[in-house]
């Protein structure tokens, strides 16, 4: 239809599609909520339902004029939408889904609907990998925005520069976080195979999502399915230091490939000082980079975004300049508050590799200050205990470790025993908060890591710290 390189006109027929009524099952998830916002902006009537309708997603959707229903009652078939868009939280036995199937109504998965109604005819830039998808896609979207390209995007987090996780956009480019999780109960392919990008970033590949993948080989197969969708005129930007990615590419690759993270053969960077780096391409200096985000992983994310932006037509020097104004992503090393000298941070880390890089990044940032790491092993992989042996090493740089053990089928205390008396394990959230507050001292950094809401522990900690401070001063 059109070449990848250059700024040739794109087929923007997606703008002229007739409005329809879609009803989204599982609308309060980040991904499905993003689809709702994009569909509404495109002129469609959007309604939806979820088992739990609560802020902030519920208020964001209602502000867009999107009607929400609590639960999956079969009576919702009376809405008679043109199409039911089904999230992957829905399974057989769901009363509304059963009625949809019995009636023979038209339904589609979220990724399928997005691909056919928003992505078709646009230049899709997809960011995939086990770690770093949200930050890298946010960086890439911001670089394109700062260059005046007004991209659409759908990201699994909220980039602070935009304040929203999804946007239709008004130009050809669309940045999407390409998840390897399965699509729907009726489509067990990874979401990312639906998007058919012209540019794809592969950050890294590790074993994760134990609830749907038996082993790393199964994940590699899905990533190779994704690679197969990139056209010959497209491009792959890949982590050249990741042997699993190289193994996937060895199974067949029909597109141009650029590598990052490997000096002299691709894009790389060297440290000049705190937050200051020099970016290189094939060993040649491109320019200095100022980056507020801490950690080697975020530097790698930035390099990948710069390389991807150049492939999309943005001069690397301009991309580097744009990243100096990148403010990060909510729930990625986000400072939630400071009380009496105790800082409380929030991070999405839920895999041993992500935990290790997050703790290491904080250590580099705070120096000798104490780090109180607070972990909720909440993902399916962590709940299954498949990576418990890697946890002690991932938390090694923390001074104290607090772990929430509710609903786990393995012995957390035994797994973390190599860390000695630095560890406190609690199955009751109130006791966990109390233990953290009792330990916290001025200057401490409380680093909370979970891929869930974690019982609003951040607010609980800040409130308890405030009460303790007020009591100490007699206020």
The per-residue pLDDT for range 390-416, each reduced to its tens digit, is 888 889 999 999 989 888 888 888 889
pLDDT > 80? residue 12:
no
pLDDT > 60? residue 230:
yes
What's the whole-model pTM score? 0.81
pLDDT > 50? residue 5:
no
At 192, phi and psi to the nearest 5? -65, -25
Of the listed ranges 1-10, 229-238, 423-432, the one predicted with least confidence: 1-10
Going by the DSSP 8-state scheme, the letter that residue 18 receives in this structure is: P
pLDDT > 80? residue 467:
yes
pLDDT of residue 1: 31
End-to-end Cα separation, the chain, in angstroms: 69
Residues 139 and 289 sit within 8 Å (Cβ to Cβ): no
Q: 71 is written with which tokens?
A: 């639960």
Mean per-residue pLDDT, 35-63: 88
Please, which pLDDT band fits residue 475 given cuts at 50, 70 and 90?
low
Element containing residue 371 per DSSP (H, E): strand 371-375
Q: What order do you get walking across the sheet with 284-290 strand by strand?
A: 166-167, 152-154, 173-178, 123-128, 199-202, 235-239, 256-260, 267-273, 276-281, 284-290
pLDDT > 60? residue 15:
no
Sketch out the chain's domains with CATH numbers: 17-108 (3.40.50.720), 121-323 (3.40.1190.10), 334-473 (3.90.190.20)
pLDDT of residue 38: 96
DSSP of 225-265, one letter per residue? Answer: HHHHTS-TTSEEEEETT-HHHHHHHHT---SEEEEESSTTT
Please, which pLDDT band fits residue 443 given cuts at 50, 70 and 90?
very high
Residue 232 and residue 10: Cα distance in Å, rounded? 18
Top-ranked range on mean pLDDT: pick from 43-57, 71-85, 275-289, 360-374: 71-85
Residues 123 and 4 sit within 8 Å (Cβ to Cβ): yes
What are the tens digits of pLDDT across the range 82-138? 999 999 999 999 999 999 999 999 999 999 999 999 999 999 999 999 888 999 999
pLDDT of residue 11: 54
Mean per-residue pLDDT, 259-283: 87
What are the tens digits of pLDDT across the range 189-212? 999 999 999 999 999 898 777 678
At 139, phi and psi to the nearest 5? -60, -45
pLDDT > 60? residue 2:
no
Please, which pLDDT band fits residue 154 given cuts at 50, 70 and 90?
very high
Q: 325 is written with which tokens?
A: 């104004």
Contacts of 59 (CB under 8 A, 6+ apart): none
pLDDT of residue 14: 45
Q: What are the DSSP E strand ranges found in 61-216?
A: 67-70, 83-86, 107-109, 123-128, 152-154, 166-167, 173-178, 182-184, 187-190, 199-202
pLDDT of residue 362: 86
Q: 322 is written with which tokens?
A: 């744009």
Of the listed ranges 58-72, 142-156, 236-250, the one predicted with least confidence: 58-72
Beta bridge partners of 310: none
Q: Average pLDDT of the chain?
A: 89
Residues 156 and 133 sit within 8 Å (Cβ to Cβ): yes
pLDDT > 80? residue 382:
no
pLDDT > 90? residue 451:
no
Residues 414 and 420 sit within 8 Å (Cβ to Cβ): no
Residue with tokens 């008679």: 80
Q: Quick one: 183 exposed, middle or buried, by C-beta within 10 A (0-12, 13-18, 19+)?
A: buried
CA neighbours within 13 Å on the CB side: how many for 266? 19
Mean per-residue pLDDT, 431-435: 91
Q: Which of 333, 345, 266, 358 is nearest to 306 (CA)?
A: 266
pLDDT of residue 101: 98
Please, which pLDDT band fits residue 332 given cuts at 50, 70 and 90?
confident
Q: 77 is written with which tokens?
A: 């078939």
pLDDT of residue 145: 97
pLDDT of residue 9: 44
- Three-class DSSP category at 33: helix
- Three-class DSSP category at 39: helix
How much of the chain, in percent, has pLDDT values that exceed 70?
Answer: 94
Residues 175 and 123 sit within 8 Å (Cβ to Cβ): no
- The residue with greater pLDDT, 248 or 3, is 248
pLDDT of residue 55: 67
Residue 375 and residue 4: Cα distance in Å, rounded? 43
Residues 67 and 79 sit within 8 Å (Cβ to Cβ): no
Q: Which of 192, 218, 199 is nearest to 207 (CA)?
A: 218
């Amino acid at each position: 239809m059109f070449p990848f390189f250059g700024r040739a006109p794109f087929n923007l027929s997606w703008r002229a599609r007739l409005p329809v009524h879609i009803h989204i099952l599982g609308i309060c998830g980040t991904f499905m909520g993003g689809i709702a916002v994009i569909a509404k902006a495109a002129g469609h009537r959007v309604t939806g339902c979820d088992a739990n309708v609560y802020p902030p997603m519920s208020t964001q959707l209602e502000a867009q004029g999107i009607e929400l229903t609590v639960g999956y009652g079969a009576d919702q078939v009376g809405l008679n939408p043109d199409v039911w868009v089904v999230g992957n939280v829905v399974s057989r036995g769901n009363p509304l889904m059963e009625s949809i199937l019995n009636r023979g109504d038209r339904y589609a998965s979220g990724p399928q609907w997005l691909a056919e109604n928003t992505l078709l005819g646009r230049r899709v830039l997809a960011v995939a990998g086990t770690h770093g998808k949200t930050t890298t896609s946010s960086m890439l979207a911001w670089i394109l925005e700062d260059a005046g390209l007004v991209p659409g995007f759908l990201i699994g987090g909220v980039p602070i520069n935009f304040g929203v996780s999804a946007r239709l956009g008004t130009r050809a480019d669309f940045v999407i976080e390409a998840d390897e999780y399965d699509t729907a109960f009726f489509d067990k392919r990874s979401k990312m195979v639906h998007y058919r990008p012209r540019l794809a970033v592969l950050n890294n590949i590790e074993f994760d999502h134990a609830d749907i993948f038996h082993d790393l080989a199964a994940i590699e197969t899905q990533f190779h399915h994704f690679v197969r969708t990139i056209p010959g005129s497209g491009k792959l930007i890949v982590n050249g230091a990741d042997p699993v990615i190289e193994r996937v590419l060895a199974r067949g690759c029909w597109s141009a490939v650029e590598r990052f993270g490997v000096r002299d053969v691709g894009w790389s960077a060297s440290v000049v000082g705190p937050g200051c780096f020099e970016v290189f391409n094939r060993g040649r200096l491109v320019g200095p980079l100022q980056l507020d985000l801490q950690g080697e992983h975020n530097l790698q994310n930035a390099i990948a975004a710069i390389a991807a932006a150049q492939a999309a037509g943005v001069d690397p020097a301009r991309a580097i300049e744009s990243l100096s104004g990148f403010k990060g992503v909510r729930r990625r090393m986000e400072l939630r508050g400071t009380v009496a000298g105790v800082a409380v941070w929030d991070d999405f880390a839920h895999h041993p590799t992500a935990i290790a890089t997050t703790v290491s990044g904080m250590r580099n940032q705070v120096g000798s200050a104490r780090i109180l790491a607070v972990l909720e092993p909440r993902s399916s992989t962590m709940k299954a205990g498949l990576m418990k042996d890697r946890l002690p090493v991932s938390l090694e740089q923390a001074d104290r470790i607090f772990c929430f053990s509710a609903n786990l089928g393995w012995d957390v205390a035994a797994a973390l025993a190599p860390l000695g008396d630095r560890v406190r394990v609690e199955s009751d959230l109130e006791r966990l908060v109390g233990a953290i507050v009792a330990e916290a001292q001025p200057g401490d950094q409380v680093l909370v890591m979970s891929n869930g809401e974690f019982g609003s522990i951040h607010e609980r900690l800040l409130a308890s710290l405030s009460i303790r401070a007020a009591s100490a001063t007699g206020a």
